[in-house]
Amino acid sequence: MILLKSDLISPPCPQITAITSAKGEKKVSALASAIRTMLFMQRYETELSQRDTKLRELQNRWWQQTMGQVGQARENEDRKQLVQYFSLLGWLGRGDEEESISDDRLNSLLNRACAYKKELDGWKEKNRDNLRSLGGPPQGLVNWEAHPWTSDGLWPLMEQQMERVQRNTEGAPMAAAVVKTPHADEGKIEVTATVIGGPLDYLTYTVKLLAGLRWDSLDKMRDATDSAKRLAVYRGIRTQKFIEFTERKIHEREAALREVRAAALA
């Protein structure tokens, strides 16, 4: 096969053609426009490259905060908040409110998170070349209606809680029970038991949040017991909620940057 010189040379960029063909003030104007576009693209690429670094830093900071020493007042407040959060999953206790948040239930929750994370990691590896275009994983990565998930006791509790919420909000679809999470360096996080259209499945939502943690973090949570386990799992959920919020803001910023870029190149 014989390659011609023209085959080795890429066609000129429209902006370069506009610059080289222009004269006088038009050439200056075309060159200035090209420089502005180049600077914008550099900022855009920097913005994208910083995203993953920022999320890794947030997870590292979470682990240091969770396993490090915290003030007693902050720990007491977190214990109150974790009781409120897990009540959204139907984990309701009598007397000692933390009694319902047992190690067995937390281990079942972590088992679900690990199963989902395993499938999610496999899906990401399989689709690593077009993750951005896919937008997110499909529904049904894990069949929660199969064994062992049908016997871990978590879904009946969630189902009962959703029925309670539905009964309490009948005739008032905008009503919502809001739980605030104070004392979080990452900022206040709000969760609600209801949305327009019915109660939220907080079990599946929580499983997906925990699946965003590193494997070593999940392993350490499994090894912990009693109060330390409850606090670690709750703080992991809280931090993943903040990361979810941060990612949403980043995506919104990316969309805005793409619109500006499209306008600049128009």
pLDDT of residue 259: 72
**Rounded to an integer, what distance in angstroms lies between the CA atom of residue 13 and that of residue 30?**
13
pLDDT of residue 228: 93
For 192, the enclosing helix (H) or strand (E) is strand 189-192
**Rounded to an integer, what distance in angstroms lies between the CA atom of residue 118 and that of residue 207?**
12
**Rounded to an integer, what distance in angstroms lies between the CA atom of residue 94 and that of residue 97?**
6
Q: Quote the tokens at residue 142.
A: 């894990």
DSSP letter (8 states) at residue 13: P
Question: Cα dist. 231→1, 32, 108, 122 in Å?
Answer: 68, 56, 16, 29
**Rounded to an integer, what distance in angstroms lies between the CA atom of residue 244 and that of residue 62?**
14
**Rounded to an integer, what distance in angstroms lies between the CA atom of residue 14 and that of residue 8?**
18
Question: End-to-end distance of the chain based on CA atoms, in angstroms?
Answer: 40
pLDDT of residue 10: 47
**Rounded to an integer, what distance in angstroms lies between the CA atom of residue 83 and that of residue 92?**
8
**Rounded to an integer, what distance in angstroms lies between the CA atom of residue 220 and that of residue 241?**
20
pLDDT of residue 253: 74
Question: Cα dist. 262→30, 37, 219, 242 in Å?
Answer: 17, 10, 45, 30
Residue 197 gets the label, from left (phi > 0), alpha (psi -120 to 50) or beta, of left
pLDDT of residue 75: 82
Encode the chain (266 residues) as per-residue pLDDT tens digits. Answer: 444 444 444 455 565 666 667 667 776 677 777 777 777 777 777 776 677 677 777 777 766 665 555 567 788 888 889 999 999 999 987 756 788 899 999 999 999 999 999 999 998 888 887 877 777 788 889 999 999 999 999 999 999 999 988 888 765 544 444 343 433 444 445 555 544 455 789 999 999 999 999 999 999 999 999 999 999 999 999 989 888 877 777 777 777 777 766 666 65
